[in-house]
Structure 1
C-alpha cells in the first residue's frame, strides 16, 4: 500500500511538472506581446470580449439594433475594462482604435477606453456568409501593412476575422499582437 501511495504522488508531481513546462512557452509568448505593445508601432488584433452564451447572432439580427444581437456578458464588460487599464498601465498607447460594427465589438472597444472608436467595415463578421470574407480580409491586411505608429493600432473584431488574418483561433477577449507586416509577436489571453 505504501508503494502505491508513493507512485500516486509521483504521478501527480509528474503531471504538475508537465503542466508547468507546457505553460512556459505561453508565458514567454505573452511577455513578448506586452513588450511589443509597450514599444509602439505594433497591432493589437482582438476578438471581442466574452458574450452571453451562443454562436453567431439570433436569426433576423440587425446591425443597427443592439437588442437583436448577441451582446457582451458582465464578465466580458469587466474584461474589456481590465485589459484597457492594463494596456494603459503598461504604456501601450493606442494611435487608432478600429472596430467591427457589431455591438459586442463596439462595446469592447469603448470599454477599453483607449481613445476614440471608429467602425471599420472590413472588421465586420463574415461568419456564416459562405464567402470567407476574402475582400474584407485583404482590406484589413492592407491597413495593417500600412501602419507605422508610433503608437499601437487596436483592432476589435470577431474570431473568423482573426483566424483569417493570422491562422489563430482566439478565445473571447484574446489579443494577438502583430508587426505591421502581419507577423505574430505573441498573444495575450484573458
Structure 2
C-alpha cells in the first residue's frame, strides 16, 4: 500500500512557508469566505479544525468569534509552525493523525475539515474519530475539491500516484455514504463554487 501519509507530510512541509500566498493554497483560500459565513451563524463554544494547515481559517474565525475555544490538528509540523506564529496563544494546536486524535469523547461542538479529506487513506476511520469527539448534536463541516464525472473518474486513476499524498476525489454519493456509515445524520451537501463542495452533518 502506498504511504499516503508520508507523502502528505513531505509535501506540506515543503509547501508551508509559502502556502498562504502561492498556488498550492489557492483552492483553500477560495473557500474561507463561505465557510466563515456559515460558522458565524452557528452557536458554539469549542471548535476543531482537522487538517488545520497554516491556521488561516481559525485566525479568521477568531476575529469574528473571540470567545470560542479553538483547536487545530495537522500531520505536518511545518504547517503547524506557521499556524503557531499566526495564532500565538489564541488556539491550541497539535501535531497528530486524524485517525487517532488526542481528544476526549464528546469534546467539540463543531469540527471542520477543509481541503484535507481527499488526503485520508482511511476516510471512514477519520469520520468515526470525528464522530467520537463531537458532542451530541455537534456539527461537522467538510469542504473539499470536487469535479464532474467522467473527469473525476479519470483523475482518480492517477491521483493515487501523486507525490502530494492525494488519495481520491469523492462524489456526492460517496461522501454521503461515508458519513452515514460513520453514524452522522442530517446530511446536507451544497456546491459553494464550481470546484468545491460543502457538506454539513450532525451527530
Calculate the TM-score normalised by the size of structure 2. 0.37
Calculate the TM-score normalised by the size of structure 1. 0.39
Q: Which has the higher helix share?
A: 1
Q: Which has the higher strand share?
A: 2
Greater relative contact order structure (CA < 8 Å, 6+ sep)? 1
Q: Highest CA radius of gyration, 1 or 2? A: 1
